[in-house]
Structure 1
Amino acid sequence: MAIRSPSLVELHAFLAVARTGSFRKAAEALNVTQAAVSRAVLRLEETLGHEMFERSGAGVKLTAAGAEWRRRVEKPVAQLEAAAIALGRKAERLRLRLSVAPSIGTLWLMPRLEHFRQLHPDVEVEFRQYHHDEDFRRDDVDLWVALKREAGQRWPRQIAAEYLVGREIVAVGAPALVRDVTSARELLALPLLYHSNYRENWALWARAVGVELPARWKGTGFDLVLNLVEAARSGMGVAVVQRCMVEADLASGRLVVPVPGAANTGRGYWLCRRRALGAHPAADLFSQWLRDQAARSEG
């Protein structure tokens, strides 16, 4: 029987470009040259008889055929990788050393972590202390989930970083507090809660929903998102916060979004990995699982 399917090399190249939106970033993620990724994708397109990407100066995006192909092959390829690791390294206990920013770890990652353990029971995850002034030169960490503090922040050259979640901020409050709120202006008349490092988030949100924040507004600041969210739950005021941090609260009804609309901070949380890390099965499995979780959360 003639083989009609592309090779695994071509599939991995295609999926890496689809995930990152860039041939350069895909090459970095796969630890190969950009030319090798381009050739692999071209071979795949020739085999299937369809263009998978629309290429432009701004980058690449999936065509309709490319999106359909990704939907069909992404999970099977991930399962094949997991099977190869499980069979080829059966006797080896896989270990991942992870450093995660505290708030995203507690509010977003921890509720999901049991799902990863069930999928990959052989992987041992060890959490290491998170450093807010991280320079990514530690050798006791394999992966970081780190906060991008400024929209224009550049990651160190030795780090490959990809966005996960947390760019989008929304205004939330306890149901009893915001029951009668019908507009952004009414919401801004309530006690305002904010992250003390990002007081400007309220102005950013107000502009996004088409109102002006009072010039001399006052509120209560918190240096941890954990405390900010807890204050909002208690009815102390309304908070502007990353949507991913309050997913569970919104689902349970502890918090609500009284005024539709969101703002993009350009920051968020990023998955960071040393380029020199090389082959690391546990890191690869966790990274793919984390991307899937982030895609669901952002979607």
Structure 2
Amino acid sequence: MDLPPLTALRAFEAAARWSSLSRAGDELHVTHAAISHQIKHLETWLGRRLMQRSGRGVALTPAGIEFYRVVTGALAAIASAAANMRRTHDARSITVGCIPSIAARWLVPALPAFTADHPEINLRIVYARAEEQFDTEALDVLITLGEDRSPGIESRLLFSRVNKPVASPFYLEKHPGLRKSSDIAKADLLHDEKVDYWLDWFRKAQTPPPRRPRGPIFQDFNMLATAVIAGHGVALCPIEVFRHEIQRGDLEVISDISTLDDQGYFIISRAGQSRAVADFINWFTAQCAAVHLSLRS
């Protein structure tokens, strides 16, 4: 196979993911200059420009964007296959893939309780992308957005994805009376990956959206959550996932108009799973159902 230099591919993938040569160097334990050299080597091999300077970091060219999508998927597949090869087949060891929003808010904080109740089970937790399908060779359990209806696969609902506008008390203190959809249209809007979610909400609220929706777009949902809790604006959030933040008063639901009512977050596994997998699924399902959510709109 006529493959490009693999060391250069790793350097390119890390630099593209971080938008920084320095942070890529830190990850791969090499210098900033070494990363730059590897990327130039790859560009020479391909005969295409992949990156360009952008402020203090780097940005992908159109060719770089196209190539990155292929490279990151291929490296992820290799990493998954390697992890699967290294996994023990001990029935007491399970690998759980979990999307970041659920991992940060629900899974990781509760893990000590599971370990205490099941010291005989060895857990390996890995991040999963929201669009990732359940790979029975790499994972024993997948916690993600959407269910898997494939034969031989079981999906159990954990949370509804019902999205409603939320804001922090700090932001509401500066913007009192922010309850009507027409007032929300004038607020600082925070966006999860794209502005379409807010456009759908204004359409359902029968309110003209802002001509130019203000506010940053966050690629990572946890960054969006940090921003809204810090008082940067109003965000559309899955309120079931944010039960704790709402109950603590870190966030307030400011409208009962919702979107994505027919979607949900699921825990997925093979049918007829091992006792260890069944114990984990039953435990985490109970964790997600334990806190009763009572909201005022």
Q: TM over 0.5, yes or no?
A: yes
1:178 aligns with: 172
Shift of 1:162: 2.3
Superposed, which structure 2 residues align to 1:97-246 within 5 Å? 97-132=95-130, 134-148=132-146, 155-179=149-173, 180=176, 181-197=178-194, 199-206=195-202, 211-214=207-210, 216-246=212-242
Q: Distance in 2 between matches of 1:223 and 1:298?
A: 30
Superposed, which structure 2 residues align to 1:61-80 within 5 Å? none
Deviation readout 1:19-74 (Å, 9 max, x if unpaired): xxxxxxxxxxxxxxxxxxxxxxxxxxxxxxxxxxxxxxxxxxxxxxxxxxxxxxxx
Q: Distance in 1 between matches of 2:151 and 2:197?
A: 29
Give the AA of the match of 2:280. Answer: F
On the 8 A contact 1:173/1:257 being kept in 2, the answer is yes
Give the AA of the match of 2:290. Answer: R
2:269 aligns with: 273
Shift of 1:259: 3.1
Q: Distance in 2 between matches of 1:282 and 1:112?
A: 17
Give the AA of the match of 2:163. Answer: I
On the 8 A contact 1:165/1:268 being kept in 2, the answer is yes
On the 8 A contact 1:178/1:258 being kept in 2, the answer is no
1:49 aligns with: none
Give the AA of the match of 1:235. Answer: G
Give the one of 225, 249, 252 matched to 1:256.
252
SS of the residue corresponding to residue 240 of structure 2 reads helix
SS of the residue corresponding to residue 242 of structure 2 reads helix
Deviation readout 1:197-244 (Å, 9 max, x if unpaired): 5x3322443455564434653432111110001111222211111113
SS of the residue corresponding to residue 164 of structure 2 reads strand
Q: Distance in 1 between matches of 2:292 and 2:150?
A: 26
Q: Distance in 2 between matches of 1:126 and 1:137?
A: 15
Task: Tell me the matched-pair count.
Answer: 201
Q: Specify whether residues 187 and 135 from structure 1 end up closer, same or farther in structure 2 by C-alpha distance, changes over 3 A only.
A: closer
Give the AA of the match of 1:103. Answer: S
Give the AA of the match of 2:215. Answer: G
Superposed, which structure 2 residues align to 1:13-28 within 5 Å? none
Q: Distance in 1 between matches of 2:106 and 2:234?
A: 20
TM-score of the two chains, using structure 2 as the length reference: 0.59
Identity of aligned residues (%): 23
On the 8 A contact 1:108/1:244 being kept in 2, the answer is no
Shift of 1:161: 1.7
SS of the residue corresponding to residue 216 of structure 2 reads strand
Shift of 1:126: 1.2
Q: Distance in 1 between matches of 2:166 and 2:196?
A: 16
Give the AA of the match of 2:126. Answer: R
Give the AA of the match of 1:273. Answer: S
Q: Which runs of 5+ in 2 are unaligned?
A: 1-89
2:289 aligns with: 295
**RMSD, aligned CA:** 2.8
Deviation readout 1:68-119 (Å, 9 max, x if unpaired): xxxxxxxxxxxxxxxxxxxxxxxx9822211101121112222222332333
Q: Which runs of 5+ in 1 are unaligned?
A: 1-91
Superposed, which structure 2 residues align to 1:30-69 within 5 Å? none
Give the AA of the match of 1:175. Answer: P
On the 8 A contact 1:194/1:220 being kept in 2, the answer is yes
Deviation readout 1:133-153 (Å, 9 max, x if unpaired): 5343342311100222xxxx8
